[in-house]
Amino acid sequence: MIDLRLTDEQELLRKTVRAFARDEVAPVIGELYERGDFPYRLVASLGRMGLFGLILDEEHGGAGGDFLSLCLALEELARVDSSVAVALSAGVSLGALPLHRFGSPEQKRRWLPPLSTGGALAALGLTEPSGGTDAGALRTTAVLDGDTWVLNGEKCFITNAGTDITSLVTVTAVTGTLPDGGREISTIVVPSGTPGFTVSPPYSKVGWCASDTRALSFADCRVPAENLLGTRGLGLAQSMAVLDESRIAIAAVGTGLAQGCVDECVRHARQRETFGRPLAAHQSVRFGIADMEVRAHTARLAWYTAAAALDRGAGFSKEAAMAKLVSSRAAMENAREATQVFGGYGLMNDYPVARFYRDAKVLEVGEGTTEVQQMVIAHHLGLG
């Protein structure tokens, strides 16, 4: 029999993060969001809570916790705001995780401790202007010149890449040619401030406006040969493995947004009166909110399943793709429905549902589009 009950520690974590989101994030996030300001103070608080090091090894400053617990925290944050949740999600699953999974002992000792405290952030440099969905269509190159890698190329849509506390980016690049004529792809760690490494100004985005997203460029950027992450030639495989885990984290964010829409609509439907009756008295409104709750619950079951598979060491790639697909759809549909429930107020940025609507669309694109998730699922079914 499947037991979906949380442990006492997980339940305490969930309640603690929920209170933090309610008491610390909610009062300030609207202003940060509209200004496009990165939430440094909130990120520092998440670091003090131990969330950035939750799944990292204890010897490198982490807590050695499970991935499901991290996702619990992400869902609770996203019930209030996705930008803060994404800063944590990308900081761990895209930033620290490549080093945690594939780094050498020396690389881990050097870079993981500050990442585990939230005092520093890392980013994953994978997506390029010429190949977003097609991650194998890389044009960035890294040529080994003696004991130095020389990088040239561009990356785009990179989260946490240009904050004041970003310490490094793990860059996926073509490093040679394989015996069969294919391209050898590897991952190389590029510390912030390295000559030849340029970080562009932040994008002006539709959603996730308080998160940091930048384009990066490399022009004869030189880093030591020992900055090769993991095995040479396995860079793309490493990135795909990291994305599988990150999709579960993003599914938790999507679920949190979907649940946040329910929370806001329940509150509004009880307080708002139309035609002399509470909005909740109208059956169409009640039924619509009920459907929203079903979508959020279904999305939660999907990411729970994927995270549990990851934590017990089972295969989870298909489950991660399904969780990401289901949760992003739930977030988008719930955000649309919430805007209708709020009417004109749902179009005002003073109300969380307006942010939710803008943020939900990003979930159908980031960490692999809806179509990519369908492709992954179909592949696991033996279709193509």
- Known catalytic residues? 367
CA distance 143 to 153: 12
Task: Report the candidate in 355, 372, 371, 360 with the shortest Cα–Cα distance to residue 334.
Answer: 360
Structure tokens at 24: 């610390």
R_g of the chain computed on alpha carbons: 21
Structure tokens at 252: 């938790």
Ramachandran class of 199: left when φ > 0, alpha when ψ lies in -120 to 50, beta otherwise: beta
